[in-house]
Chains A and B, each alone.
Chain A
Amino acid sequence: MHIGSPEFSVLVGLTSLAAGTLGGMLGMASGIFIVPALTLLFGLDIRHAVGASLVSVIGCSCGSAASAMENRLTNVRLAILLEIGTTLGALTGVVLSGVFPSSSLYLLFAVILLISAHQMFQKRTGAEATVNVAVQPDRWATALRLNSSYPEPITQQEVVYSVSRVWLGLILMYAAGAVSSLLGIGSGVLKVPAMDSALRLPIKVASATSNFMIGVTAAASAGIYYVRGDILAKVAAPVALGSIAGAYLGTKILMRTSNEKIRLLFIVVLLGLAAKMFLAAFQGDGSAGGI
């Protein structure tokens, strides 16, 4: 089975469809599933897998960002402010990408996943408290009019929320952007917990706003990958098509499930991926070193 054959396109397309659906439901990009699938299942070079993944990340972000925006879950002003952090981070990541060996990147990634899972789990127990207790109003959030409201999709009630600790959020977004382009993922997996804990956003707003920003972050690094010739059309095309369709399905499911179920699913996926990344880090020295 070689790149560009009909069965390759169909299999890659179906894998991307599944990855996109999961990604859309969790408010994270599908790159996190696509890079392992392309390298482990289809035996692709990691650089080409990352290139294709970035295109799919953009596709996912466009599809689900549009749906979420029509449901008025996205905080556009906040997203644009935080994009300064993520795009600067993405450039830093591209500059640094030559320095780190891939096994140490996998290890770093596994650790970040575990921290995120831990944060999410802690938040689960205190979820009620954050809804009722008024959040400390941030001076910057008020000055830039970042505070907003959203209609809760299940009850149709308008929920007012304010944004706290904008500067901490910007710094965390810078780190998320760097990790995104270092590892070739959308890094919604970092952005959603960061917005959840630093900015104290409702999880659906965090998820929708993250999806909205992911496209811009990925485009900043995808442009460089394209110029370098690391985006193979025959791989990126089925991946993009499959993940756009999947992301659309995923966001439809997101609208119908409750916040708690999404959190639980998120924690399970984070732990599973962390285990996979640890394995990749320790196997990477021996088996993948030959490439």
Chain B
Amino acid sequence: MSQESDNRQHLVRMEGMLAGLLRYGALIASGWIALGIVLDLFDGPASVSQNSVTLADRCLSIGIILLIALPVLRVALTTAVFAFERDYVFAAISGAVLLIIALGFVLGVIDPNHAFL
């Protein structure tokens, strides 16, 4: 009985951590993107003709990369929490998810212009 409620408490605590990561991560990423858009509006159309990377573009890229990385970070955090709680079956399961994502990214880097065929 106490084992059951103990598990429940662990789960609730992990849910709180994950919710925090997703919420504040999305907020920070949105902040960078919003900053980029505002800077871009001040730059005006003059920057479009130039080929250089502006400060606005950098802010936008940081926000977008952060957003793409957020779910991956979430899986990494889940893996760590499961391992810490000695729930090795689930640590292995979420570690496998992490590995699959990494494999896809590596395939994309190796061969960026083709559909692997």
Question: A-side interface residues toward B, CB under 8 Å?
Answer: 2, 4-6, 9, 55, 58-59, 61-63, 65-67, 69-70, 72, 74, 76-77, 80-81, 83-84, 87-88, 90-91, 94-99, 144-145, 215-216, 218-224, 226-229, 231, 233-234, 236-238, 240-241, 244
Contact = CB atoms under 8 A, between A and B. Distances in A.
A87 B64 CA distance: 20
User: Which size bracket describes the interface of B in this complex?
Assistant: 35 or more
Contacts of B20: 66
Q: Is the interface of B mostly helix, strand, loop or mixed?
A: helix
Contacts, number: 171
Interface string B74-117: 11001000000000011001101100110111011100111111
Nearest to B41: A6
A87 B101 contact: yes
A226 B100 contact: no
B115 A97 contact: yes
B71 A237 contact: no
A90 B15 CA distance: 25
Interface of B: 7, 11-12, 14-16, 18-20, 22-23, 25-26, 29-30, 33-34, 36-37, 40-41, 45, 48, 57, 60-61, 63-65, 67-72, 74-75, 78, 89-90, 93-94, 96-97, 100-101, 103-105, 107-109, 112-117
Contacts of B57: 233
